[in-house]
Amino acid sequence: MNPVTCRASEVLKHKTGYCYAKSHLLAALLRANSIPAGFCYQRLSVYDDGAPYCLHGFNAVYLPQYGWYRMDARGNKKGVNAQFTPPMEQLAFSLNFPEEIDCKTIFAEPLPIVIQALQTYNKWDDLLKNLPDVETVFC
């Protein structure tokens, strides 16, 4: 849905967001409640059939009994079943191609390439044609 959102407040206001914006909102909500949270990424096939590829954004939360736990706030649909079941991690997407990357790094802030893409495009279909991607391992 439009508009493309970036900030947590925009996601709340417009009730929409790509995975990146949803991860920004979740991190803001967790941090506002003094729960440590970070940003995580995978490089995935856009259409699940090889190139093109893009980053998928999700979160990590620090749970005292388990440590850092990665979770995905993107929402489930047919074929997507992310779950919050510590200590078992169940992200929305698994890797299917050699070019895909599951970055284990937890970032304190969203990647600049993600922020730039979200702030450059106003319509979801424009962003879909220009999703952020990195070809090298950044984690």
Per-residue pLDDT of the chain (139 residues; tens, 9 = 90+): 999 999 999 999 999 999 999 999 999 999 999 999 999 999 999 999 999 999 999 999 999 999 999 999 888 888 899 999 999 999 999 999 999 999 999 999 999 999 999 999 999 999 999 999 997 757 7
Q: Is residue 72 part of a domain?
A: yes
Q: ∠ CA(65), CA(82), CA(124), 5° rounding?
A: 125
Q: Is residue 138 part of a domain?
A: no
Residue 14's domain comprises 8-128
- pLDDT the model gives residue 79: 85
Amino acid at 127: L
- Please list the helix, strand and coil fractions of the chain in percent, rounded to the nearest 5, in that order: 25, 25, 50
Q: Is residue 137 part of a domain?
A: no
Q: Is residue 134 part of a domain?
A: no
H or E element in which residue 63 lies:
strand 53-63
- pLDDT the model gives residue 91: 96
Q: Is residue 1 part of a domain?
A: no
Q: Is residue 3 part of a domain?
A: no
Q: Is residue 63 part of a domain?
A: yes
Q: Is residue 24 part of a domain?
A: yes
How many structural domains comprise the chain?
A: 1
Distance CA 71, CA 73 (A): 7
- pTM (predicted TM-score): 0.94
Other Cβ atoms within 10 Å of 45 Cβ, number: 17
